[in-house]
Amino acid sequence: MKKKLVSILLCVSMTACLFAGCGSKQEGAEKGTEEKKEETAGTGTLEVWLPAKLNGEDEAVWDEISAPFEKEHGVDVTFQFTSWKDYESKYSSAISTKSGPDVGYMYVEMFPTYIDAGAVEDLGEYLTDEDYENYTVLGDQYKIFGKNYGIAQGGPEAVLAMFYNKEILASIEESAPETWEDVMRIAKKAKDAGKCGIAQGWGQTFYQDLNWNWYSFLYQAGGDIFDEEGKCILDEKEGVETAQFLYDLKNTENVLPEDTMSLTNSEAFEKYFLSGEAAIGFVSAGSSMFEQLKENNIDYGFTYELKGNNGSMGARASVDQLVLMSAAEDKELAFEFIKYVTGKEGGEKYHELTKSNPNMKDQKWYGVEEAEEPYTKAVGEGTIRPITAARRAPEVYDYLWKELQEMMNGSVTPEDAMKDVAEYANAMDYSAPAE
């Protein structure tokens, strides 16, 4: 009887623990939200979510930047850093369960879903004329659906640049390429001289390499992926012309590496350009890339201003932004924080610590010295620009990337590939949800 009683008690306690476990999660979350609300209203707490992108230095950098703000406003700013890979899924889970941050971080592809769900604030009411005057990242090309939903902490980053190997170019009696025609000619001559024409990789497993292999070429042809309404216009002349140029690199002129379909673009650049084998490569012109080129003793040149057949230029860049979440308890405080960390004091400190590009007029340049003048010129002239936001974009990008792989593998023609992508994209609803 005693044994039976003990076992029954044990079972009851286990079940109770189970319920407590399930309950505490929910209760805990509710309690946490309540506590957070109380704290925010009273002592002032601000929760900020960011992707971890500073090689493990995120916490130290952000603590240093936010310390003066916390002191001045008597507020405790807590940061949560999430890996890039999990950032979006974690973010959407948190927002859907109403446990998201006060201040968040978004890249262009993320915005539409959150805007449609009313999860991010339009900053139109918060920004002053002075802000529009001082910030260089609030212009039309940085707006999402015509509005400012965030402020970028730095100027356009991860800008696509064309790098060329001066030594190889000299050996084939060529100078810096300026047009697609130059690129094709130089690549063919380099290949004939036993080198690799262009260090380009098409083996990325998802659409990330559109950043280096597609958008900028499309801009240089004078095109875009979506029009203002969000309709996919890749089947127009410019899209087909871009696809044809890339197709020819591999299938007509054979100037790409043999294993181009297995390597990501950065793997191809490392394998062929950084080893001094390739004449040309297209990658992000960040500080670390310049360091790697120097470490490998490559005699290189670079430009953001490659011209397409009709003389258009374009270099794709990222302009990720800090956003004010609609669920923030103290929106004024949260916006103050955004302005501080993107502004003269906090923003400048961030640029200094992370070597990022200026986002305001008359700010000091902390990046690679040789990139300052061409970068400033290209940003000023609108050559460097971010991609356009559109609903259902990630799905279209993924489809586009895989269709481009099909095309590069020779399974479809450039024209059919573009037609197929446009049909796929436009079969989906891309209109704004009803108010």
Phi, psi of 296 (to 5 degrees): -90, 10
Task: Note whether 15 binds another protein by CB under 8 A.
Answer: yes
Q: For residues 345 and 398, which CB has a smaller minimum distance to another protein in the complex?
A: 398
- Please report, as residue ranges, which positions from 26 to 45 form the binding site for another protein (by CB under 8 A): none
Task: Note whether 4 binds another protein by CB under 8 A.
Answer: yes
Q: For residues 88 and 122, which CB has a smaller minimum distance to another protein in the complex?
A: 88
Residue with tokens 């790697």: 292
- Please report, as residue ranges, which positions from 326 to 385 form the binding site for another protein (by CB under 8 A): none
Dump the DSSP string for 121-165. --GGGT--HHHHHHBSS-SGGG-BTTB--EEESSSSBS-EEEEEE
| Shortest Å, Cβ 58 to another protein | 22
> Which region, judged by CB under 8 A, interacts with another protein, from 18-26, 214-222, 240-248, 294-302?
18-26
- Please report, as residue ranges, which positions from 242 to 281 form the binding site for another protein (by CB under 8 A): 258-263, 267
Q: For residues 380 and 433, which CB has a smaller minimum distance to another protein in the complex?
A: 433
Task: Note whether 88 binds another protein by CB under 8 A.
Answer: yes
Residue of the chain from 312, 405, 413, 426 that contacts another protein (CB under 8 A): 405
Binding marks (x or -) toward another protein, 207..236, rule CB under 8 A?
Answer: ------------------------------
Q: For residues 96 and 141, which CB has a smaller minimum distance to another protein in the complex?
A: 96
User: Distance between CA 294 and CA 317 in Å, rounded?
Assistant: 23
194: which 2 tokens?
A: 């036993």
User: Distance between CA 212 and CA 223 in Å, rounded?
Assistant: 16
Residue of the chain from 47, 102, 329, 403 that contacts another protein (CB under 8 A): 403
Dump the DSSP string for 328-396. -S-HHHHHHHHHHHHSHHHHHHHHHHHTPPP-BTTPPP-S-HHHHHHHHHHHHTT-EEEPPP-TTHHHH
Residue with tokens 């290949």: 191
Task: Note whether 392 binds another protein by CB under 8 A.
Answer: yes
Task: Note whether 402 binds another protein by CB under 8 A.
Answer: yes
Task: Note whether 304 binds another protein by CB under 8 A.
Answer: no
> Which region, judged by CB under 8 A, interacts with another protein, from 71-79, 311-319, 355-363, 401-409?
401-409
Binding marks (x or -) toward another protein, 46..85, rule CB under 8 A?
Answer: ----------------------------------------
User: Distance between CA 244 and CA 263 in Å, rounded?
Assistant: 21
Residue of the chain from 93, 175, 252, 254 that contacts another protein (CB under 8 A): 93
CB 197 within 8 A of CB 188: yes
CB 105 within 8 A of CB 114: no
Class of residue 140 by CB neighbours under 10 A (exposed 0-12, middle 13-18, buried 19+):
exposed
Residue of the chain from 175, 398, 423, 432 that contacts another protein (CB under 8 A): 398
Residue of the chain from 205, 369, 431, 435 that contacts another protein (CB under 8 A): 205
User: Distance between CA 106 and CA 398 in Å, rounded?
Assistant: 19
User: Distance between CA 165 and CA 269 in Å, rounded?
Assistant: 12
Other Cβ atoms within 10 Å of 352 Cβ, number: 12
Q: For residues 352 and 429, which CB has a smaller minimum distance to another protein in the complex?
A: 429
Instruction: List residues bridging with 321 in a β-sheet.
Output: 106, 152
Residue of the chain from 6, 14, 41, 60 that contacts another protein (CB under 8 A): 14
User: Distance between CA 241 and CA 219 in Å, rounded?
Assistant: 11
Total of residues contacting another protein (CB under 8 A): 47
Q: For residues 68 and 118, which CB has a smaller minimum distance to another protein in the complex?
A: 118
| Shortest Å, Cβ 124 to another protein | 22
| Shortest Å, Cβ 422 to another protein | 15
252: which 2 tokens?
A: 């007509």
Amino acid at 386: P
Give the helix/strand (H/E) hosting 235: none
| Shortest Å, Cβ 265 to another protein | 13
Task: Note whether 92 binds another protein by CB under 8 A.
Answer: yes
User: Distance between CA 392 and CA 310 in Å, rounded?
Assistant: 30
Interface ranges with another protein (CB under 8 A)? 4, 7-8, 11-12, 14-15, 17-19, 22, 88-89, 92-93, 95-96, 113-114, 116-117, 119, 202-206, 258-263, 267, 392, 394-395, 398-399, 401-403, 405-406, 409, 411, 433
